[in-house]
Chains A and B, each alone.
Chain A
């Protein structure tokens, strides 16, 4: 599904060069649920952005679904994101001026579905996250946990094969975090591949596979308790 080989990412500013990813190697298979942990600034978000085609990289290869994505132009990357990848963000990133219905509609319109199909998909995915009865509400009328559920509905409405989440529970209290985690597991069980960055060790432990990122490199962990650094949160 996802295969990164020696991926290197450098951020250049006037003063410094940050090697955010160094020879980053990772293989994620179809249907996996991978939790990514690591200290702040280690390159987790950078990895996720590259995996999600939000950013380009300097060298190395990245095959997404068997396709080398380094040669794609901006438009092709956008289309691929739209078709194959769903995003969940720490701060939900719902569009505040749009109702839940219109929020979930956003990626579906870029996909070019017709109105009837979009409506059906929106209702279905809001149903799945338990918010079908609040379609006309604005994001501001929901709790944080509910907002993240809407974001998950939005990410899944186009039925992507690959779901990327950057600290999806980072802004939620423990109870809400767990319910979001349960939802993600449910989704994973239906076949969607998930890669989730988190600071929360207990949540990470619920994922089938954990990887640890440090200084832009991966060290795979199978035993969560052996994590070199107590994960804060």
Chain B
């Protein structure tokens, strides 16, 4: 039923076209499989959650410039005003925004001293509304009270007595212990200044999406007596776009001694931060689609050419008893054999390219299952592409054998 042997021997006598197509299939598979792997990795990165109520949060920047600008009063008035707006869940003054790309980091160590290793941590300065505005839960210990909050002077660099840290940070500080045990422990900032861990929050991300300590965050109970800072606002679901311009308007008109700018939703922040990733995904997807089309067209071209070249032969085969199905099978099988060589070489090239990418760009090792998936995909592309020419071959009438000599 299957003419594998004769097809192979006939192919060996017309190698060039078949080899070129097999190579094209191999290269296409190599690029497709590696692209899919990279896309999957990027998608995984993009799927990481910041821990915030991103859909309903935004922030705005306030910069005081007037000589007589009173930071402390302004901040308290602003916050009271924003929190009083219907549709607002909560709001804080904050020094940095998660996943935005810019912020502060410090090192915490479990023992004092210059010779001790510290664990890097992102710093968010918040008041007792911090956890509610970030939409995070205190899962061990206590949240901040109003009485915990102190003003931080723009010139002085002193730290309060207590902090909240993320569960991930607790686990990095005390890798051998349950994170709950971190509550009440003393850690040291600036090498020697003690701070007590008041509570643990479930999850919040640092400002830097490319940082390997992305999940390590501490909340510090401080309001900033600075002239420039941001307000982070969390709204009721669906209210964000209504409240954003209102807050901007309110801040601008309530105090003429400052400018407000950088009104931005968390959604936009995420899009901006992950723009390179989504651009990469788009480029790779386009390349994959184009390559697949080009390869499919190459297969159609070679098959059409060989059908035309073999018209007489096909008619003769029909005269000798080939059914239309047998002719169809011949071309499908021939393509399958060429594709098989292609995907075998492709599998090796795929691993090779991945190994090179691992060295050159610190990519991880490809998931092995993508290789058989890629092989099947290219086999299918080949079979679908060759179907048209194969059907045309099957439709060649047997009388061709005796006509037009």
Contacts and interface: CB of A to CB of B under 8 A. Distances in A.
Interface of A: 45, 48-49, 52, 54-55, 74-75, 78-79, 81-83, 87, 89-91, 93, 95-99, 102, 105-107, 109-112, 138, 154, 158, 166
Contacts of A99: 9
25 contacts: A45-B403, A49-B399, A74-B324, A75-B324, A75-B325, A78-B321, A78-B324, A78-B398, A79-B321, A81-B319, A81-B321, A82-B321, A82-B322, A87-B320, A90-B402, A90-B405, A93-B316, A93-B319, A95-B313, A97-B13, A98-B10, A99-B9, A106-B6, A106-B320, A110-B321
Interface in B1-58: 1, 3, 5-6, 9-10, 13-14
Given A93-B313, A110-B320, A112-B1, 17 more contacts: A54-B401, A55-B399, A78-B318, A79-B323, A81-B319, A82-B322, A87-B316, A87-B401, A89-B402, A93-B312, A95-B316, A95-B317, A102-B6, A106-B6, A109-B6, A154-B320, A166-B402
Contact of B401 (A75, A93, A109, A154): A93
A14 B193 CA distance: 100
Interface in B364-401: 397-399, 401
Q: What 10 A-B pairs are tightest by C-beta distance, nearest first?
A: A82-B321, A97-B10, A107-B320, A110-B321, A93-B316, A78-B323, A54-B398, A97-B13, A54-B399, A102-B6
Nearest to A49: B399
Contact of B323 (A74, A91, A102, A166): A74
B344 interface: no
Interface in B307-359: 312-313, 316-326
Nearest to B325: A75
Q: Point out which of A74, A93, A154 has the most chain B C-beta atoms below 10 A from its C-beta.
A: A93
Contacts of B318: 54, 78
Given A74-B324, A89-B401, A89-B402, A54 B319 contact: yes
Interface of B: 1, 3, 5-6, 9-10, 13-14, 312-313, 316-326, 397-399, 401-403, 405
Contacts of A97: 9-10, 13-14
A99 B12 CA distance: 12
B9 A102 contact: yes
Given A54-B398, A54-B399, A109 B316 contact: no
A87 B402 CA distance: 10
Given A91-B405, A98-B9, A75 B323 contact: yes
Nearest to A93: B316
Contacts of B397: 54-55
